[in-house]
Protein backbone atom coordinates (compact mmCIF):
# COMPACT_ATOMS: atom_id res chain seq x y z
CA UNK A 1 0.00 0.00 0.00
CA UNK A 2 1.16 3.52 -0.70
CA UNK A 3 -0.07 7.08 -0.40
CA UNK A 4 0.20 8.77 -3.79
CA UNK A 5 0.76 12.49 -4.38
CA UNK A 6 -2.46 14.28 -5.40
CA UNK A 7 -2.17 16.59 -8.41
CA UNK A 8 -3.49 20.11 -7.78
CA UNK A 9 -4.92 22.57 -10.31
CA UNK A 10 -3.86 24.16 -12.52
CA UNK A 11 -2.22 21.12 -14.13
CA UNK A 12 -2.61 19.75 -17.67
CA UNK A 13 -2.84 16.19 -16.27
CA UNK A 14 -6.24 17.12 -14.76
CA UNK A 15 -7.53 18.04 -18.22
CA UNK A 16 -6.96 14.80 -20.11
CA UNK A 17 -9.66 12.33 -21.09
CA UNK A 18 -8.84 9.08 -19.29
CA UNK A 19 -8.60 5.77 -21.17
CA UNK A 20 -10.72 2.65 -20.61
CA UNK A 21 -9.18 -0.14 -18.55
CA UNK A 22 -8.50 -3.17 -20.77
CA UNK A 23 -7.65 -5.77 -18.15
CA UNK A 24 -8.70 -5.96 -14.51
CA UNK A 25 -5.54 -7.49 -13.05
CA UNK A 26 -3.48 -7.46 -9.84
CA UNK A 27 -1.61 -4.33 -10.94
CA UNK A 28 -4.89 -2.44 -11.34
CA UNK A 29 -6.17 -3.76 -7.99
CA UNK A 30 -2.93 -2.53 -6.36
CA UNK A 31 -3.46 0.95 -7.85
CA UNK A 32 -7.09 1.00 -6.62
CA UNK A 33 -5.91 0.01 -3.11
CA UNK A 34 -3.32 2.82 -3.20
CA UNK A 35 -6.03 5.26 -4.30
CA UNK A 36 -8.25 4.19 -1.38
CA UNK A 37 -5.34 4.70 1.04
CA UNK A 38 -4.60 8.10 -0.53
CA UNK A 39 -8.28 9.15 -0.32
CA UNK A 40 -8.51 8.10 3.35
CA UNK A 41 -5.28 9.91 4.24
CA UNK A 42 -6.27 13.16 2.48
CA UNK A 43 -9.05 12.84 3.80
CA UNK A 44 -11.60 12.84 0.99
CA UNK A 45 -14.76 10.98 0.03
CA UNK A 46 -13.68 10.24 -3.55
CA UNK A 47 -10.64 10.10 -5.82
CA UNK A 48 -10.29 9.61 -9.57
CA UNK A 49 -7.35 8.16 -11.55
CA UNK A 50 -6.20 11.43 -13.16
CA UNK A 51 -5.83 13.07 -9.70
CA UNK A 52 -2.98 10.66 -8.94
CA UNK A 53 -1.44 10.71 -12.41
CA UNK A 54 -3.19 7.63 -13.82
CA UNK A 55 -4.74 7.92 -17.27
CA UNK A 56 -7.21 5.14 -16.54
CA UNK A 57 -10.97 5.33 -16.10
CA UNK A 58 -11.00 4.31 -12.44
CA UNK A 59 -12.30 5.93 -9.27
CA UNK A 60 -12.80 5.19 -5.61
CA UNK A 61 -15.42 6.50 -3.17
CA UNK A 62 -15.92 6.09 0.59
CA UNK A 63 -18.93 7.75 2.18
CA UNK A 64 -18.60 6.11 5.61
CA UNK A 65 -19.08 8.66 8.40
CA UNK A 66 -16.31 9.65 10.81
CA UNK A 67 -15.86 6.88 13.36
CA UNK A 68 -17.70 4.28 11.28
CA UNK A 69 -15.68 1.45 9.69
CA UNK A 70 -14.30 2.36 6.25
CA UNK A 71 -16.47 1.30 3.29
CA UNK A 72 -14.44 1.89 0.12
CA UNK A 73 -16.14 1.41 -3.26
CA UNK A 74 -14.13 0.89 -6.46
CA UNK A 75 -15.39 1.67 -9.97
CA UNK A 76 -13.72 0.66 -13.24
CA UNK A 77 -14.86 2.07 -16.64
CA UNK A 78 -17.97 3.70 -15.11
CA UNK A 79 -20.71 4.99 -17.45
CA UNK A 80 -23.86 6.97 -16.65
CA UNK A 81 -26.68 5.01 -18.30
CA UNK A 82 -29.49 7.17 -16.89
CA UNK A 83 -29.80 10.50 -15.10
CA UNK A 84 -32.89 12.01 -13.48
CA UNK A 85 -34.35 15.14 -15.02
CA UNK A 86 -34.53 16.67 -11.58
CA UNK A 87 -31.35 18.51 -10.62
CA UNK A 88 -30.20 20.03 -7.34
CA UNK A 89 -27.28 22.20 -6.22
CA UNK A 90 -24.73 20.71 -3.81
CA UNK A 91 -21.70 22.37 -2.22
CA UNK A 92 -18.67 20.60 -3.73
CA UNK A 93 -15.00 20.54 -2.91
CA UNK A 94 -12.11 18.77 -4.62
CA UNK A 95 -8.78 17.42 -3.42
CA UNK A 96 -7.24 18.95 -6.57
CA UNK A 97 -8.65 22.40 -5.58
CA UNK A 98 -7.92 22.41 -1.83
CA UNK A 99 -9.98 24.77 0.33
CA UNK A 100 -12.18 25.86 -2.60
CA UNK A 101 -15.93 25.23 -2.58
CA UNK A 102 -18.87 26.05 -4.83
CA UNK A 103 -22.45 24.96 -5.40
CA UNK A 104 -22.80 22.73 -8.46
CA UNK A 105 -26.14 21.79 -10.03
CA UNK A 106 -26.38 18.11 -11.10
CA UNK A 107 -29.01 15.40 -11.63
CA UNK A 108 -30.27 14.16 -8.24
CA UNK A 109 -30.16 10.47 -9.27
CA UNK A 110 -28.00 8.53 -11.71
CA UNK A 111 -27.70 4.92 -12.81
CA UNK A 112 -24.05 3.95 -13.29
CA UNK A 113 -22.74 0.83 -15.01
CA UNK A 114 -19.16 -0.22 -14.18
CA UNK A 115 -16.80 -3.13 -13.60
CA UNK A 116 -15.94 -4.18 -10.05
CA UNK A 117 -12.41 -5.17 -9.02
CA UNK A 118 -13.02 -8.75 -10.14
CA UNK A 119 -13.92 -7.50 -13.63
CA UNK A 120 -17.63 -8.25 -13.15
CA UNK A 121 -20.27 -5.92 -14.67
CA UNK A 122 -22.24 -4.05 -12.01
CA UNK A 123 -24.88 -1.35 -11.87
CA UNK A 124 -25.72 1.07 -9.07
CA UNK A 125 -28.69 3.40 -8.69
CA UNK A 126 -27.18 6.35 -6.85
CA UNK A 127 -28.87 9.28 -5.12
CA UNK A 128 -27.89 12.09 -2.78
CA UNK A 129 -24.18 12.25 -1.90
CA UNK A 130 -23.28 9.06 -3.80
CA UNK A 131 -24.85 10.50 -6.97
CA UNK A 132 -23.01 13.81 -6.48
CA UNK A 133 -19.69 12.08 -5.80
CA UNK A 134 -19.98 9.64 -8.73
CA UNK A 135 -20.71 12.51 -11.14
CA UNK A 136 -17.85 14.59 -9.69
CA UNK A 137 -15.40 11.67 -10.04
CA UNK A 138 -16.62 10.73 -13.52
CA UNK A 139 -16.08 14.36 -14.57
CA UNK A 140 -12.40 13.93 -13.60
CA UNK A 141 -12.23 11.06 -16.14
CA UNK A 142 -13.28 13.59 -18.81
CA UNK A 143 -10.78 16.22 -17.65
CA UNK A 144 -13.56 18.28 -16.04
CA UNK A 145 -13.33 19.94 -12.61
CA UNK A 146 -16.28 21.19 -10.53
CA UNK A 147 -15.28 24.78 -11.34
CA UNK A 148 -16.06 24.05 -14.99
CA UNK A 149 -19.75 23.96 -13.97
CA UNK A 150 -19.87 27.41 -12.34
CA UNK A 151 -19.75 30.95 -13.74
CA UNK A 152 -16.54 32.08 -15.44
CA UNK A 153 -16.24 34.84 -12.84
CA UNK A 154 -16.24 32.45 -9.87
CA UNK A 155 -14.14 29.87 -11.75
CA UNK A 156 -11.43 32.43 -12.49
CA UNK A 157 -11.46 33.65 -8.89
CA UNK A 158 -10.79 30.11 -7.67
CA UNK A 159 -8.20 29.31 -10.35
CA UNK A 160 -6.33 32.57 -9.70
CA UNK A 161 -6.21 31.67 -6.00
CA UNK A 162 -4.82 28.22 -6.90
CA UNK A 163 -2.12 29.68 -9.15
CA UNK A 164 -1.10 32.13 -6.40
CA UNK A 165 -0.92 29.36 -3.78
CA UNK A 166 1.16 27.17 -6.12
CA UNK A 167 3.66 29.98 -6.75
CA UNK A 168 3.86 30.73 -3.04
CA UNK A 169 4.48 27.04 -2.22
CA UNK A 170 7.22 26.92 -4.90
CA UNK A 171 8.91 29.99 -3.35
CA UNK A 172 8.77 28.58 0.19
CA UNK A 173 10.20 25.20 -0.81
CA UNK A 174 12.91 26.73 -3.04
O1 LIG B 1 -13.53 14.87 -0.80
C2 LIG B 1 -14.34 15.32 -1.63
N3 LIG B 1 -15.50 15.87 -1.19
C4 LIG B 1 -16.55 16.21 -2.04
C5 LIG B 1 -17.59 16.99 -1.51
C6 LIG B 1 -18.67 17.33 -2.30
C7 LIG B 1 -18.72 16.89 -3.59
C8 LIG B 1 -17.69 16.14 -4.14
C9 LIG B 1 -16.61 15.79 -3.37
S10 LIG B 1 -15.35 14.82 -4.03
C11 LIG B 1 -14.00 15.31 -3.06
C12 LIG B 1 -12.78 14.45 -3.38
C13 LIG B 1 -12.35 14.69 -4.80
O14 LIG B 1 -11.79 15.69 -5.18
N15 LIG B 1 -12.66 13.78 -5.66
O16 LIG B 1 -12.36 13.96 -6.97
NI1 LIG C 1 -12.32 16.09 -7.28
pLDDT in tens, 14-25: 999 999 999 999
What does the alpha-carbon distance between residue 109 and residue 139 come to, in Å, rounded to a whole number?
16
For residue 43, how many other CB atoms are within 10 A of its CB? 10
- With pLDDT > 90 as the criterion, what percentage of the chain qualifies? 97
The ligand minimizing its distance to the Cα of 145 is 2
Q: Rounded to the nearest whole angstrom, what is the distance from the C-alpha of residue 157 to the centroid of ligand 2?
A: 18
| CATH of the domain spanning 12-173, picked from 3.90.45.10, 3.40.50.300, 3.40.50.2300, 3.40.50.720 | 3.90.45.10
- Catalytic positions, please? 137
Indicate left, alpha or beta for 143 from its phi (over 0: left) and psi (-120 to 50: alpha).
Answer: left
Does the predicted model carry a pTM greater than 0.95?
yes
For Cα atoms 92, 98, 100, give the angle at the middle one, nearest 5 degrees: 50
Locate the domains of the chain by residue range: 12-173
Q: Which atom of ligand 1 is nearest to the CA of 48?
A: 16
Q: Rounded to the nearest whole angstrom, what is the distance from the C-alpha of residue 144 to the centroid of ligand 2?
A: 9
Mean pLDDT (whole number) for 44-55? 98
Q: Is the peptide bond before 10 cis (omega within 30 degrees of 0)?
A: yes
Ligand 1 binding pocket mutation candidate from 46, 129, 162 (most atoms within 8 A of CB):
46
Find the residues whose C-beta lies inside 6 A of ligand 1: 44-48, 51, 92-96, 132-133, 136-137, 140
Strand partners, 23: none
What does the alpha-carbon distance between residue 47 and residue 6 come to, in Å, rounded to a whole number?
9
How does residue 144 score in pLDDT terms, banded at 50, 70 and 90? Answer: very high
Mean pLDDT (whole number) for 43-63? 98
Residue nearest to atom 4 of ligand 1 (CA): 93
Whether 6 has a pLDDT exceeding 90, the answer reads yes
> Helix H segments across 15-151?
26-41, 128-140
- With pLDDT > 70 as the criterion, what percentage of the chain qualifies? 100
Whether 44 has a pLDDT exceeding 90, the answer reads yes
Mean pLDDT (whole number) for 90-119? 98
Mean pLDDT (whole number) for 91-116? 98
* Dihedral over Cα of 80, 84, 86, 89: its sign: negative
Q: Do the beta carbons of residue 82 and residue 130 sit within 8 Å?
A: no
Whether 35 has a pLDDT exceeding 90, the answer reads yes
pLDDT at 1 (0 to 100): 85
Q: Rounded to the nearest whole angstrom, what is the distance from the C-alpha of residue 137 to the centroid of ligand 2?
A: 6
The ligand minimizing its distance to the Cα of 48 is 1
What does the alpha-carbon distance between residue 128 and residue 110 come to, in Å, rounded to a whole number?
10
Amino acid sequence: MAILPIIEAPDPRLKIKAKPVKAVDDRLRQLLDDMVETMHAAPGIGLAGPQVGSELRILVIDLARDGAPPAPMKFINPEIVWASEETRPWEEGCLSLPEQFAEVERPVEVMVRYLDETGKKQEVHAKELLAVCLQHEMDHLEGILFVDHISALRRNMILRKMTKTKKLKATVSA
